[in-house]
Structure 1
């Protein structure tokens, strides 16, 4: 059966290579329509897989990180390819900026007038690799669509088991950016999504560009090493990646030492890591402390803590006078966030492992969450080098304030923390302004694929025009958070990172402090009471954008 699947896709790959760009754009538009028709079924099936109550506000996560993200991705890709068909670069007309280190930046959020209002106060820019010029970026944007007759063959996508938009988004990127037909092997945790994905991707299935299969490690290994597969992409764990590349057991150790991988084809990956949340000290109001504590709790607890980009360690200044006040608010936020079952396999054992390493850690929310508050001078090495993929949140302290503290924090996370997928910085805008170029230099020094300032890096994941992946430079023998990028619906080449910026305070307090951002408490906050309705409305909007849909979205969002 798997051999026949690959044979079908070989035909589809050849047909895709002969398809004009306008036809490709039309096929992607048809896929957008098919996804929109499945949106409710998609979100509710994900809800049931994860054991959420039908009335829980957390169901909003399944709308936003599921059909909303996928629809935004395929819709933007369709527009990009249509523009290329008309002879227009995806970056044509975009005014680019600069960043430290001879870098050019591409503003990607807001990308439309709709986004400027819906996400008012949020922005994102893609930083190109040092030395890449704006002219080169414009010329190179389009990736595989610039050479559509050059086939990338058949690719294998090993789908993620946690966020339901990841498998289809990875598939779409392989098809459009790399001219590949794709066999998608689902993670067993997402077996229940099979029929939804088949219906949502039906135009691509009919065109023999996608096939979806089930199975475990045996099927994944067979496909990865099949001679008909030209490329492998996966989202998952480093252990799974290394087993595919090097094999297992003593033989794998020998192969790695000799530099002779068992996988004889290229592989890209997104593998997570230990994501820092750097808090820059200043004088915060009580409402600031509470809001940012909920922000941090969200970064850990979204999707139950089973995110490759989940914030795992809060970095604090030991000299911050409000340190204890913030920690008190953080404990309270972790306590009051809605509880849910530990739905991802192995979660409880990973939480127990963390407790065994840090016996002083505090159990919260009826023992379902762990806060590991490590004081200055205590060993931080285990939590810095272990991705727990469970509701475990660490806190470490570093000396200093101002620029000296920020520089120390950046150097520490670059040196000691596992992975390079994403890093978060939370700082009052007045402090950012005061630090000036020093703050921008600190962002440039962070070696992470997505850096979020007063936002969660998850916003970068949700932004179709942003890039998503590890900081460049990893290899299969030291893969860290992976190799390559996905999403990137503007098909930008020579990418280094995405930098997301959000408001420090929600509306209306943002206006009172001069931020001029209309965004209320974000619907992805685990404490957002109206998230289920807002997520559904946002998904309906991205399925068929209309100004007439805006009032209902804002009304729901402001009830958060």
Structure 2
């Protein structure tokens, strides 16, 4: 078979899939809210039935060791968030069916800067039990009223018959729930039928995804395609496709939107895209973790070092929101001890293969760029004491690999926090997520200044004593870059996904977590009862806990809690 014939056959297959979706758009327009909710419930049931096969396929392509606790990552970032999202989206549709706003039942308060904040976690008794001490709020832009938030929530489902054409989703290759969640958001937030093009890294999940999305495929509103960049290029430029959503890097985005090489660079400079249709995206960046100085115990230092190691090494470092730069106070008396714990946590974390293409080259590039880069176990690299006056690749390039850098900034607690916020906003590429770690006494001493700092940070998700990945896992929270980016300065992307409450135009998600895990939290008078989170790379029973958590999400029930709690506590 010649290359040209292969290309022709492939193009014909894509044309047929798009034509199916053009016809399917009418079927989607004819679906009322009750039918759409029922389809979500069926996707949730299919996800539960396929969860085991889903995780096996992910473990295979990521080459995780048999019996490793790291398998827990695939449960918690694969079928689990799809189960919680289908349930939360179904609840929003149910509210609209009954003439209510999806926001009804969620508490609302005033946030700094004249913002309305919708508390989306905890929302149920299950949230309070399983995620004790964790919370999440969605902050709307300044000036948006509570009445407006309630009136506009629902997005495309307020007018289900007004469909939005055919959209393309270019699926991610790292976190396996991303493609399915993006498909659901296109359908339910924007009323677009969807052609999902899988990243070749995830082709082993084709059969699983086909079974999970079967209710939507059978209706004719979803098609799944595989292939390389040639398939993606043909698909996004297809004349019957009206919108593109992608997950990846800013460089990949620019290649799709403007083209490659000198011609692509010239188009970007001139602001004349090669792709003549709207594009939304989630693109990652250089995510920072700000360590606010305080008086920490040795156990605090060790736990938060493991926390940052997780922020960097979860999924091998191949996360769009993996922490890349740690900002610490140069005058913090405990700085050296904390950095020693951080070095040990990076070194001692479980080893895993570098499964994502190009990882070894990116690690080698980081070592070549910084003479004091230190290899700290396996293929991991720690870069010490970046100079804030000398921008380099650690600040401007998302490594998408197990590389972590440290930058020291001067000043007392308040001065350091102000400098860290400015550095995060002005020196680091991207606006997807930023983490802050602060002792409860420091939080109390800072008072409103901490809320003001959170408001000043221009990031789509801000996490205090939690990893921004918790925002990804919170179905009711929007996930995406800080608003305002453009095609020619895309940073971490345009638009949001997830957002199961279907809020219109959110500004950011603010996540809060416990500074200490139970039982130490209880001994120090904190209300949080959560043990070490199962997404920590150091969690010894993460595989069992992740499986049990996914099973619970499929069918929440009191009888499942004792075994789930016991597994989590053993971690």
TM range (shorter): over 0.9
The number of aligned residues is 559
* SS, match of residue 434 in structure 2: strand
**Corresponding residue of 2:538:** 527
Distance 1:336 1:381 in 2: 28
Please list the CA deviations of residues 55-82 of structure 1 after superposition, one character each: whole Å capped at 9, or x if unmatched: 0000000000000011111121112112
Matched, 1:482 2:497: no
Offset at 1:378?
7.2
Distance 1:257 1:396 in 2: 32
Distance 1:353 1:378 in 2: 21
**Corresponding residue of 1:103:** 115
Distance 2:252 2:369 in 1: 24
Distance 1:12 1:75 in 2: 24
Q: Is the 8 A contact 1:318 1:376 kept in 2?
A: no
Large movers: runs of 4+ above 4 Å? 375-378
**Corresponding residue of 2:370:** 358
**Corresponding residue of 2:6:** none
Listed as ranges, the gaps of 5+ residues in structure 2 are 1-12
Offset at 1:403?
1.4
Matched, 1:390 2:401: yes
**Corresponding residue of 2:241:** 229
Offset at 1:519?
0.2
Q: Which moved more, 1:95-104 or 1:269-278?
A: 95-104
Distance 2:558 2:95 in 1: 23
Q: Is the 8 A contact 1:280 1:401 kept in 2?
A: no
| RMSD of aligned Cα (Å) | 1.0
**Corresponding residue of 2:383:** 372
Please list the CA deviations of residues 78-124 of structure 1 after superposition, one character each: whole Å capped at 9, or x if unmatched: 12112211111111132211111110000000121111111010000
Offset at 1:382?
2.1
**Corresponding residue of 1:438:** 449
Q: Which moved more, 1:164-173 or 1:426-435?
A: 426-435
* SS, match of residue 78 in structure 2: helix
Q: Is the 8 A contact 2:386 2:405 kept in 1?
A: no
**Corresponding residue of 2:31:** 19
**Corresponding residue of 1:340:** 352
Q: Is the 8 A contact 2:258 2:274 kept in 1?
A: yes
**Corresponding residue of 2:136:** 124
Distance 1:93 1:80 in 2: 11
Please list the CA deviations of residues 342-385 of structure 1 after superposition, one character each: whole Å capped at 9, or x if unmatched: 1100000000000000121110114x100001255773532100
Distance 1:414 1:22 in 2: 44
Please list the CA deviations of residues 446-494 of structure 1 after superposition, one character each: whole Å capped at 9, or x if unmatched: 0000000000000000000011000000000000000000000010112
Offset at 1:514?
2.0
Q: Is the 8 A contact 2:396 2:428 kept in 1?
A: yes
2:508 to 484, 497, 500: 497
**Corresponding residue of 1:78:** 90
**Corresponding residue of 1:41:** 53
**Corresponding residue of 1:197:** 209
Distance 1:370 1:250 in 2: 33
**Corresponding residue of 1:517:** 528
Distance 2:235 2:388 in 1: 48
Distance 1:337 1:398 in 2: 27
Q: Is the 8 A contact 1:73 1:487 kept in 2?
A: yes
Offset at 1:522?
0.4
Offset at 1:539?
0.3
Structure 1 length-normalised TM: 0.99
**Corresponding residue of 1:151:** 163
Q: Which moved more, 1:33-42 or 1:73-82?
A: 73-82
Offset at 1:233?
0.1
Please list the CA deviations of residues 492-543 of structure 1 after superposition, one character each: whole Å capped at 9, or x if unmatched: 1120000000000000111122221000000000000000000000000001
Offset at 1:253?
2.4
Distance 1:21 1:283 in 2: 53
After superposition, the Cα gap between the structure-2 partners of 1:172 and 1:375, relative to the gap in structure 1 and judged at 3 Å, is: closer
Offset at 1:262?
1.1
**Corresponding residue of 2:179:** 167
Q: Is the 8 A contact 1:100 1:440 kept in 2?
A: yes
Distance 2:507 2:388 in 1: 34
Distance 1:453 1:447 in 2: 15
Matched, 1:114 2:118: no
Distance 1:299 1:251 in 2: 37
Q: Is the 8 A contact 2:168 2:196 kept in 1?
A: yes
Distance 2:237 2:358 in 1: 28
Matched, 1:90 2:110: no
Distance 1:510 1:311 in 2: 25
* SS, match of residue 486 in structure 1: strand
**Corresponding residue of 1:187:** 199
Matched, 1:30 2:38: no
Listed as ranges, the gaps of 5+ residues in structure 1 are none
Q: Is the 8 A contact 2:269 2:488 kept in 1?
A: no
